[in-house]
Amino acid sequence: MASRTSGRIAIAGGGIGGLACALGLARRGIASVVLEQAQSFGEVGVGLQVAPNALAVLDALGVGQEAKKNALLIERLVVRDSVGGETVFDVPVGAAFRERFGNPYAVAHRADIHGALLRGCEAYPSIELRTRSRVVDFESHDAGVSVRLASGEVVAAAGLVGADGVRSQVRAKIVGDGEPVAVGAYIYRALIPADVMPKDEHKPYPTLWVGPGTHVIYYPVRDWSVFNFGATVLAGSVDRGEAEAAPDEALAWFPGHHPDLMRILRLPARFNRYIIRHRPPVERWTAGRVTLLGDAAHPMVQYLAQGAAMALEDAICLANAVAETPGDVERALARYQDLRIVRATRVQMSSLMLDKFYHARGVERLVRNSVFEGRTPEEFYDRLSWLYRSPAYVRG
């Protein structure tokens, strides 16, 4: 039996993108129901870089202060060469950066960002938060959308937003491009207790090591109690699947890497191996009253650390479009796609292009390192401006 029909929007998926969308809609007076497949709302226990364009959305959603309270506002962006150990670049992101982009650059535990959004949503009675509600299908009709759950229940809504991640069920129906593509890389992720991390690595910023076919990043989260750690390796056709990995498994990918990096890779920690996936960009996310948001729309490799930021920007853009086009969900969702598709796709493409920069070998590695020699912080900011300066629909 169908549940009550109304002007509310159904959102498949209660990750960062889905919750931000519900909160953005609520702040503009629009009701929504969030349909999350999991038993509870939550995020896996790893870190997230939260660039100024992401923080600007959290501010606009009224949860910026809470998100920043638990985040580390970093002082620099540092990249080191994994072979020679030299610094490729070291860019301060203090006062001048904050003034230029309106916000600091932060690192945080994912659960803290997701938690701030969840508490924001819980404060609005117009948001219905449902767990154990896996979306399996939908039908559009003149008056709205009927969203079918795995239980057989049908939820009626004026429109449907697929914020259901990289394996989106909603995308399967409106884009139909099958499974996401493995890019031939793994990431080994861990939380390293601060007391085992060497003291000289306790720095108030992320350290990113770039090497031939590898890159590694680590930074402190949760009041410096743990370090978020991720080691990405290009594995070619090696097929190992996703699982907990033996502590020394990742080491095999790092022959000839710098001793400062090797000592971090040898720290005792529980590593989990994940396959890195993406999808090639598509020209259409919206079909009538149904659209996609976040990873469901433009899943990207994590190299630019912007996937969640793009989901947040999508969310506020979509909420504004719906609010500014009362009673016409189809036009609102078409407008949302028009406003977002070039920027989000540019970020998706740029993320993949960083593969060449991060993982350069031989003389290409030397060229990479030389490119940044003598570049001033202002020159870095100029080149990053397209990304970190928020679009008008966020600032407005």
Ligand X SMILES: Cc1cc2nc3c(=O)[nH]c(=O)nc-3n(C[C@H](O)[C@H](O)[C@H](O)COP(=O)(O)OP(=O)(O)OC[C@H]3O[C@@H](n4cnc5c(N)ncnc54)[C@H](O)[C@@H]3O)c2cc1C
Q: State the residues that interact with ligand X by CB under 6 A.
A: 12-18, 35-38, 48-49, 54, 134-135, 163-165, 169, 187, 230, 294-296, 302, 305-309, 311
- Closer residue to ligand X, CB minimum distance, 146 or 306: 306
User: Do residues 63 and 116 lie in contact, with contact meaning Cβ atoms separated by under 8 Å?
Assistant: yes
Question: How many CB atoms are closer than 10 A to CB 74?
Answer: 23
d(CA 29, CA 319) in angstroms, rounded, equals 10
Nearest distance, CB of residue 187 and ligand X, angstroms: 5
Q: Which is nearer to ligand X, 12 or 58 (CB)?
A: 12
Task: Say how far apart CA 370 and CA 90 lie, in whole Å.
Answer: 13
For ligand X, which is the closer residue by CB, 103 or 169? 169
CB of 147 to ligand X, least distance (A): 9
> 132 or 383: whose CB is closer to ligand X?
132
Q: Which is nearer to ligand X, 151 or 370 (CB)?
A: 151
Pick between residue 83 and residue 190 the one whose CB is nearest to ligand X.
190
Rounded distance between C-alpha atoms, residue 365 and residue 265, angstroms: 21
Name the nearest CA neighbour of 263 among 317, 197, 217, 324: 197
CA angle 113, 116, 122 (to 5 degrees): 140
- Six token digits for residue 203: 């720095």
Instruction: Report, in Å, the least distance between residue 153 CB and ligand X.
Output: 12
Ramachandran region, residue 301 (left: φ > 0; alpha: ψ -120 to 50; beta: rest): beta
A 10 A CB-CB count for 173 gives 16
3-class DSSP assignment, residue 229? strand
- Give the residue with the Cβ less far from ligand X, 370 or 385: 385
**Smallest separation (angstroms) from ligand X to the CB of 332:** 19
Indicate if the alpha-carbon torsion angle 164, 304, 219, 315 is positive or negative. negative
CB of 141 to ligand X, least distance (A): 21
Q: How far is the CB of 229 from ligand X (least distance, A)?
A: 11
CA distance 32 to 29: 10
- In whole angstroms, the minimum distance from the beta carbon of 367 to ligand X comes to 26
Beta-sheet pairing, 32-35 with 127-130: parallel
Nearer to ligand X, 17 or 120 (CB): 17
Contact 306, 300 (CB under 8 A): yes
Closest approach of Cβ 84 to ligand X, in Å?
26
